[in-house]
Chain A
C-alpha cells in the first residue's frame, strides 16, 4: 500500500471542493459558485482529465480497453461522438466533437444490464443499451470490429461490469486507498449499547450468537432481557423465521421503553405456540415499568401476514401473548417495491411528460409506499415516546421492512442518529449487522438483472430520511449530498461497506481486511457533508408529517440526469457564505479588541461592547 500518496489521493477524489478565494465581495452569493456546487455532486469520486487528457486512475484501477468513434445517444442533447474507455472499475466516455467537453464517468457497479440492441446495420453499427441501477439508461452505437476474433469494447465492458458472474472479484477488493480514518471502526456494538444507557438490571448482552450458531444473519452481540437464558433463546430461535429472535434495538433513556426487532413467529396453520417466546415478550414488557402493555408492529398488510400461515409463518395471536396488541402497518413486499421503482424510472427518465406529470407520478405509487413506511415508523415512535410503551417490530424475515421501520423510528427518537457519525452507526447496526441482504437486493456484480431478490428497500429508506430532512431542515447534521453519496457508493462497489448479506459473511470473506470502508472516505472529508443549517437539539423528537401533500419526489436524486432539473441550493449556499462572513468578522473584532486592550489597559469601560457578548454563545452550533 502506498502510504505516501494518501493525502493527495483524498484531494484528487474530491477535486471539486469549493475553494473560495475572495470572501470580501459582500454578502452576495457568487453565481459561479452556485453552479459549481450543483455539479460538484456528480464530480466527487469521479475523475477529471488532466491537461494532457489522461485519465487519472484510482489506485489499482487499470484500463482494460478503449475505443474511438463511439456514439453516445444522449436523450437530452442528441448523439455525441467520442471515445470510450473501460477500466476494471469504471466506464468513461469523453466526447470529442463538442464544446464544452462532455463526459460520462460511471462506476461499472451501477450497471444492471448491458445488451446488444438489434442486429448490426448495413454500415456495421451495433447499438448497446446499458440499464443502470441509479435511474438512467445509456445507449451507445459502435462499429463492430472487422476482425471477428477481436472483442468489442462492450464485451470487455460486460466482463468487468459483472465480475461476480464471471468469477472475478469486485473492484472493492483491489482498491487500496489509505484514508486518515479507518471507517471499519465506526461501529462498536458494545459502545453503542453503552451510549444508549442500557440498564444492566433488566437487559444483558448475550454471547449466544458469538459464532453465528443461533442465527447466521444476526450480529454476534445480541441484547435480551436478563431473565431469559441462552437456552431459552435457542428454543425461541426455532420458533422465529430464520432464527431471528426478538432482540433489543434501542432503549429510551428515560422511560426505558424498548424498540425490539424480530422476524415472524412460525405459528403456521395450527397455531403453534412457544412458551419461551411468550415469556420473552413478557420480559420485554416487564423491563419497562412505565407500561403494562406491549405493541407488536407487523409491517405487512394483514392479508399477507395471514397468508404466511399457510407456509408455516404468521403473526402473534393476542390469546397467546397477554397484554400485547398487534398492529399491521400495511407495507408491501419487495416485489411490489421493485415494480414501483421500475414504473418510477419510466416516468422520470429520460423525459417527463409535463401535463401528466402528477398522475404519472401517482401511478407509480412510489410516494405512497414512502408514506406508508414513514407512517409506520411514526406510529412506532409515537408508541415509544408518547405511550412510553415497548414495541416489537417484525415483517416476514425481519431484514427488509423491519430495518426500514426501526431505523426511521430511531432517527425520529434519538437525535444522535441525525448526526453524520450517528447515522453511520445506525446503518452499521440496523442494516448491516442485522443482515439486510445488500448483495441480494442490489445484486453487486451479478448479471442476472431479472433476479426477483432485487428490490430498492435501502433506497426507500434513504428516500424516507431525505423526506425528513426536507421537513426538518435544521435537525440533521448531514446534507443531501451525504445521502446521495451513500446511494452512489451502494452501487459502485468501490467500498466494502455494502458488500455481502450479513455480518457473518463479511467476516468470512474478510471484507474489513481487504476493502476500504465508505466511512473512511466520508469521515476523511466531513466538511463536504455538513448541513450548514444544523442546530443540535439533543432532546428533540421529530414527528414528521406523513401526508402525501408534504412528500415530494426526490428530484435531485431521481431526476438528476436531466439537465433541465438542475439542483438549486441557494439556502445552503447563502448560509455557508454568511457563516464564513461571520467567522471572518468575529476574527477581526477579536483582533481589534486585543489591540485596544493592549493600548488602553486602564479604560475597561469601552471594552467588549454588548453585541459581541451576545454573539459568542451562538458559536456552539457552527
Chain B
C-alpha cells in the first residue's frame, strides 16, 4: 500500500508514464493470437485493425490495462479484449449499436498522441510522420480512452493510428457518414408505438394549432422550398401577414406556440440589412405589426443576439467546461478537484445556462402575466430562438413535459425548425470553427435544470436526457444529421440507392428500440412523475386546451378589436393609440435583468405548486447545478458505490411495481367492477431486478465499475488543497489556557 501521508503528496506530479514497462509485458505469457472480430452492424465495414493493443483501465487508481485488438470501421473505433469480459453480458442498460469499448466515429472529439512522454493534440500534420506510443481519445460523450501502441508491429500500429486519425479528424463529406451505409431494418414493434409528432406534414401543424387554439395561418408555399431553403417545409405565420414573396425568405415571424389567453410566441430570422436603414426598420415594423395583430394588438420583441451570448461564446465556454471532466488519471482528478468551484465559474457555462433560463422566464412573464405577443429574433432564427422558444413551451405547457410531447417539441422547434445540426455539432470535422456550437446541448442542459428542480413534473428522467445528448453523435439516425429541412430532403433523395423511386430512410432517433431494448427504455421514465388524473387522457384526444390553471389576470384594459368589418380608419387610429402603449422593445432595463422577473417568480412561488401548470426555475446561485450524471459518469473517482440517486430510483420503482401489482390483485378479486388497469408504459418495473445489490454505483446505468472490492477512493495531495496562510492556522486549539504537563 502506498503511503498516503502528506509527505507523499509533495512528490505527486501528473504524468503519462505507462506503469507497465515493456519488460514486464515480456515476462507475461504472450497474448494468445485469437482472431477476433467485432460484430458488425448491417452495412458496417472494417477498415483496419491492430493487435496487441493495451487499453488502460482507469479503475483502481492504477494504470493497468487489458490487451486486445483495436479496429476501425466506417462506424466506430472499437476495442475487443483478448479476455472475455463478463460485463457486457450482464448489463441491463446496453446500447445495441455500440458498447463500452466502441467509439462511434462522430463521437470522437479530440485525439492526443503521447510522443516521448509529451502529450500533443493530433492534427493533420502530425499523422504523416510517426505514430505515438500512446493514443488518447476524448469523446464527445466525455469518455476518455487510452491505448498503448507499442506492443504491436510497427506497420500495424502506424496503420491503425493513421486510419483512426483519418476517419475521425479529417474533413469529410456527408456521404461518408455511416447513416447512409447503415441498413438496419426498422423494428416493426416500434413503428406501431411511434407517437412522436414529426411536424413534417401540414396535418401535424394543423393539429398543433388546434391543440393550442392558435389563430394563425399555415404556409404550404414552401413545400418545394421555393420561398427559401433555410425555411421549414411547412410553417405557421400570423394571419395578418400578407404577401410572402417580398420577404426574400427572411424575416418571417414564425409561430411557435399559443398561450391559452390567445397571445402567442413567434420567432424570426432578421431580414438582411440593406444599405438603407429605413427598409430594415420598415420591415421590422411590418413584422411586429403582424405579430401584434394576433391578439389584442400587443407585442414585445427582442433580438436575442443582443442579450444572450453568441454561439461562439457558447462554444468557447463549453470547451473550457468539458475539460474538467475529461480526466485521464487519478492525479489529474485530485489536482482539478482543488479549484473545482472557481474553475466551473470561470468556464461561464453555468452562467450561460442561467441566462437562457432567465430569458425564457422573461418571455413566459410576457405571455402569462401581460398576455402580450412575443417575437424573438436572431440572425438566423434557428439557434438561441430554438433554445428560448422550446424552454418557454416546456415551462408553460405540461404536454411538453411528457416524453412524447418533449420529442415532438424537439421535432417542431429544432428538426423541422431547421436548426443547423450538421454545422453546429461539427459532424464532418470541418476546419471552419465559426459555426460549431453546442446549442442543442445547451438546451438539454437547461431542461435538465428544470427536471432537477421539479422532478415530478416531468415524465422523462435525467437518464433520458443523457442518452439523448449522446445520441446526437451516433451516426445512425437522420434526426440530427442535417442543416435544414431542405438539406435533409435533397441529401436523402440523392443518397437513396433507388434514387428515382423512394428516398432513403434512416431511423429517427425517437425509435429508441434501435438503441435499447424495452427493458432498458424503462430508465427513460421518471418514477416520480405525478401523472395527471385519469380523465386527462380523454381531454388530450379531443385536443381541448390543456391550460387549466388560471394564473393570468384577464386583460380588461383593451377590448379585442373585432377582426372583420371594422372601419379601416378606426382600426388604424386604434392601432396608433395602442402602439404607443403596447408595442415595446422589451423591458429596457439592461442593468439587472434578474430583478425584472424576480417579482413574477416570487408571486408564482407563493402559489401552490401545480406540476401540470406553469413551471419556473429557481435561478439563484446554488440552484443552478452541474449535470452530474452526464459529466461525472465515466470518472471512477466519483462513483459512489451503493449510493447515488439510483438507490432512490430503484427503491421507488420497486414500490411502484408493488402498488401496481396490488392494484391488479384487487381488480382480479373484484372482477365485477371492471376497472381498467393502469396501463403505464413502464408497467414492468418488476423486471428491473438489480440482483443482490443495493450496491450499484452512482454512475449506473452508464459505467459499470469493475471496482468489485469496494475499496474507497482516497484523495491524494490533500495539503495542496488547502493552504490556509492566516495566522489562525498556527494558533493553539485551546485559546485560553494550554496546560503544560511537563
Chain A residues near B (Cβ < 8 Å): 25-29, 31-32, 34-35, 238, 241-242, 266, 268, 272, 301-304, 307, 311-312, 325-330, 332-336, 339, 352-359, 361-362, 365, 367-369, 371-372, 375, 378-379, 381-382, 386-387, 395-397, 400, 452-453, 471-475, 533, 535, 537, 540-550, 553, 555, 559, 562-566, 568, 570-571, 574-575, 578-579, 581-582, 585-586, 588-589, 592-593, 596, 609, 611-612, 614-615, 618
Min Cβ gap A394→B in Å is 12
Min Cβ gap A559→B in Å is 7
User: When the two chains form their complex, are residues A368 and B721 in contact, meaning their CB atoms are under 8 A apart?
Assistant: yes
CA–CA, A32 to B351, complex, Å?
32
CA–CA, A339 to B724, complex, Å?
11
User: When the two chains form their complex, are residues B640 and A302 in contact, meaning their CB atoms are under 8 A apart?
Assistant: no
Query: Hey, which chain B residues are within 8 Å of A581, CB to CB?
Result: 659
User: When the two chains form their complex, are residues A35 and B608 in contact, meaning their CB atoms are under 8 A apart?
Assistant: yes
User: When the two chains form their complex, are residues A375 and B528 in contact, meaning their CB atoms are under 8 A apart?
Assistant: no
Top 5 closest A-B pairs, CB basis? A357-B621, A543-B712, A452-B735, A585-B662, A362-B341
CA–CA, A596 to B666, complex, Å?
12
Closest to B663 in A: A585
Instruction: Determine if B278 is an interface residue (Cβ-Cβ < 8 Å).
Output: no
B205-263 CB contacts (< 8 Å) to partner A: none
User: When the two chains form their complex, are residues A400 and B733 in contact, meaning their CB atoms are under 8 A apart?
Assistant: yes
User: When the two chains form their complex, are residues A472 and B622 in contact, meaning their CB atoms are under 8 A apart?
Assistant: no
CA–CA, A327 to B2, complex, Å?
12
Instruction: Determine if B453 is an interface residue (Cβ-Cβ < 8 Å).
Output: yes
CA–CA, A102 to B334, complex, Å?
47
User: When the two chains form their complex, are residues B741 and A238 in contact, meaning their CB atoms are under 8 A apart?
Assistant: yes
Query: Hey, which chain A residues are within 8 Å of B645, CB to CB?
Result: 473
Number of interface residues of B (CB under 8 A): 103
Contact with A along B720-736 (1 / 0, CB 8 A): 01101010111111111
Q: Which of B6, B344, B534 contacts A301 (CB 8 A)?
A: B6
Chain A, interface SS category: helix
CA–CA, A568 to B450, complex, Å?
13
Query: Hey, which chain A residues are within 8 Å of B620, CB to CB?
Result: 352, 354, 357, 562, 564-565
Q: Which of A334, A545, A547, A615 contacts B658 (CB 8 A)?
A: A615
Instruction: Determine if B339 is an interface residue (Cβ-Cβ < 8 Å).
Output: yes
Contact with A along B8-21 (1 / 0, CB 8 A): 00000000000000
Min Cβ gap B467→A in Å is 21
Query: Hey, which chain A residues are within 8 Å of B651, CB to CB?
Result: 474, 533, 535, 575
User: When the two chains form their complex, are residues A35 and B713 in contact, meaning their CB atoms are under 8 A apart?
Assistant: no
User: When the two chains form their complex, are residues B594 and A471 in contact, meaning their CB atoms are under 8 A apart?
Assistant: no
User: When the two chains form their complex, are residues A575 and B342 in contact, meaning their CB atoms are under 8 A apart?
Assistant: no
User: When the two chains form their complex, are residues A397 and B337 in contact, meaning their CB atoms are under 8 A apart?
Assistant: no
User: When the two chains form their complex, are residues B710 and A578 in contact, meaning their CB atoms are under 8 A apart?
Assistant: no
Closest to A325 in B: B3
Q: Which of A28, A272, A533, A548 contacts B533 (CB 8 A)?
A: A28
Closest to B722 in A: A368
User: When the two chains form their complex, are residues A575 and B652 in contact, meaning their CB atoms are under 8 A apart?
Assistant: yes
Query: Hey, which chain B residues are within 8 Å of A453, CB to CB?
Result: 734-736
Query: Hey, which chain A residues are within 8 Å of B690, CB to CB?
Result: none
User: When the two chains form their complex, are residues A566 and B652 in contact, meaning their CB atoms are under 8 A apart?
Assistant: no
Known A537-B694, A571-B455; judge A397-B733 contact (CB<8 A): yes
User: When the two chains form their complex, are residues A549 and B340 in contact, meaning their CB atoms are under 8 A apart?
Assistant: yes
Min Cβ gap B294→A in Å is 32
User: When the two chains form their complex, are residues B642 and A475 in contact, meaning their CB atoms are under 8 A apart?
Assistant: yes
User: When the two chains form their complex, are residues A387 and B733 in contact, meaning their CB atoms are under 8 A apart?
Assistant: no
User: When the two chains form their complex, are residues A330 and B733 in contact, meaning their CB atoms are under 8 A apart?
Assistant: no
CA–CA, A377 to B454, complex, Å?
34
Instruction: Determine if B715 is an interface residue (Cβ-Cβ < 8 Å).
Output: yes
User: When the two chains form their complex, are residues B530 and A28 in contact, meaning their CB atoms are under 8 A apart?
Assistant: yes
Query: Hey, which chain A residues are within 8 Å of B718, CB to CB?
Result: 329-330, 372, 375
Q: Which of A397, A545, A565 contacts B622 (CB 8 A)?
A: A565
Which of B655, B709, B722, B733 lies at the interface centre, i.e. has the most chain A CB atoms within 10 A of its CB?
Answer: B733
User: When the two chains form their complex, are residues B622 and A578 in contact, meaning their CB atoms are under 8 A apart?
Assistant: no
Query: Hey, which chain B residues are within 8 Å of A541, CB to CB?
Result: 710
Which of A562, A570, A612 lies at the interface centre, i.e. has the most chain B CB atoms within 10 A of its CB?
Answer: A570
Min Cβ gap A544→B in Å is 7
Min Cβ gap A403→B in Å is 13
CA–CA, A555 to B711, complex, Å?
30
User: When the two chains form their complex, are residues A582 and B662 in contact, meaning their CB atoms are under 8 A apart?
Assistant: yes
B452-481 CB contacts (< 8 Å) to partner A: 453-456
Q: State which of B37-45, B76-84, B394-402, B631-639 sits at the interface with chain A.
A: B631-639
Closest to B325 in A: A549
Closest to A28 in B: B530
| Selected A-B contacts with CB under 8 Å, 13 pairs | A26-B534, A31-B609, A35-B608, A312-B742, A335-B731, A358-B621, A379-B714, A387-B1, A562-B620, A564-B605, A564-B620, A565-B623, A615-B661
Known A328-B5, A387-B1, A472-B647; judge A582-B719 contact (CB<8 A): no
CA–CA, A110 to B621, complex, Å?
27
Min Cβ gap A7→B in Å is 32
User: When the two chains form their complex, are residues B659 and A471 in contact, meaning their CB atoms are under 8 A apart?
Assistant: no
Closest to B532 in A: A28
Known A361-B341, A565-B622; judge A471-B4 contact (CB<8 A): no
Query: Hey, which chain A residues are within 8 Å of B659, CB to CB?
Result: 27, 578, 581-582, 585
Query: Hey, which chain A residues are within 8 Å of B638, CB to CB?
Result: 545, 547, 549-550
User: When the two chains form their complex, are residues A472 and B640 in contact, meaning their CB atoms are under 8 A apart?
Assistant: yes
Known A535-B651, A547-B715; judge A31-B662 contact (CB<8 A): no
Known A471-B644, A568-B453; judge A378-B5 contact (CB<8 A): no
Query: Hey, which chain B residues are within 8 Å of A339, CB to CB?
Result: 726, 728
Q: Which of B4, B608, B637, B640 contacts A32 (CB 8 A)?
A: B608
Min Cβ gap B533→A in Å is 6
User: When the two chains form their complex, are residues B618 and A565 in contact, meaning their CB atoms are under 8 A apart?
Assistant: yes
Instruction: Determine if B577 is an interface residue (Cβ-Cβ < 8 Å).
Output: no
Query: Hey, which chain A residues are within 8 Å of B711, CB to CB?
Result: 382, 386, 543
Instruction: Determine if B290 is an interface residue (Cβ-Cβ < 8 Å).
Output: no
Q: Which of A28, A396, A542, A570 contacts B455 (CB 8 A)?
A: A570
User: When the two chains form their complex, are residues B721 and A543 in contact, meaning their CB atoms are under 8 A apart?
Assistant: no
Known A352-B622, A382-B714; judge A611-B665 contact (CB<8 A): yes
User: When the two chains form their complex, are residues A533 and B661 in contact, meaning their CB atoms are under 8 A apart?
Assistant: no
- A330-B718, A540-B642 given; name 6 further pairs at CB < 8 Å: A32-B608, A325-B3, A330-B6, A336-B724, A543-B710, A588-B662
Q: Which of A27, A238, A565, A589 contacts B530 (CB 8 A)?
A: A27
Q: Which of B342, B609, B658, B712 contacts A381 (CB 8 A)?
A: B712
Which of B654, B712, B722 lies at the interface centre, i.e. has the most chain A CB atoms within 10 A of its CB?
Answer: B712
Instruction: Determine if B611 is an interface residue (Cβ-Cβ < 8 Å).
Output: yes
CA–CA, A129 to B461, complex, Å?
46
Known A574-B530, A585-B663; judge A471-B658 contact (CB<8 A): no
Instruction: Determine if B740 is an interface residue (Cβ-Cβ < 8 Å).
Output: yes
Query: Hey, which chain B residues are within 8 Å of A618, CB to CB?
Result: 654, 658
CA–CA, A241 to B737, complex, Å?
13
B639-677 CB contacts (< 8 Å) to partner A: 639-645, 647-648, 651-652, 654-656, 658-659, 661-666, 668-670
Query: Hey, which chain B residues are within 8 Å of A359, CB to CB?
Result: 341-342, 345
Min Cβ gap B49→A in Å is 37
Min Cβ gap B23→A in Å is 30
CA–CA, A592 to B611, complex, Å?
35
Query: Hey, which chain A residues are within 8 Å of B741, CB to CB?
Result: 238, 241, 266, 312
Query: Hey, which chain A residues are within 8 Å of B709, CB to CB?
Result: 386
Query: Hey, which chain A residues are within 8 Å of B285, CB to CB?
Result: none
CA–CA, A263 to B665, complex, Å?
62
Known A336-B729, A544-B640, A565-B618; judge A589-B655 contact (CB<8 A): no
Query: Hey, which chain B residues are within 8 Å of A540, CB to CB?
Result: 642, 694-695
CA–CA, A559 to B622, complex, Å?
9
Closest to A622 in B: B655
User: When the two chains form their complex, are residues A574 and B456 in contact, meaning their CB atoms are under 8 A apart?
Assistant: yes
Query: Hey, which chain B residues are within 8 Å of A26, CB to CB?
Result: 531, 533-534
User: When the two chains form their complex, are residues B695 and A533 in contact, meaning their CB atoms are under 8 A apart?
Assistant: no
Min Cβ gap B45→A in Å is 41
CA–CA, A541 to B642, complex, Å?
9
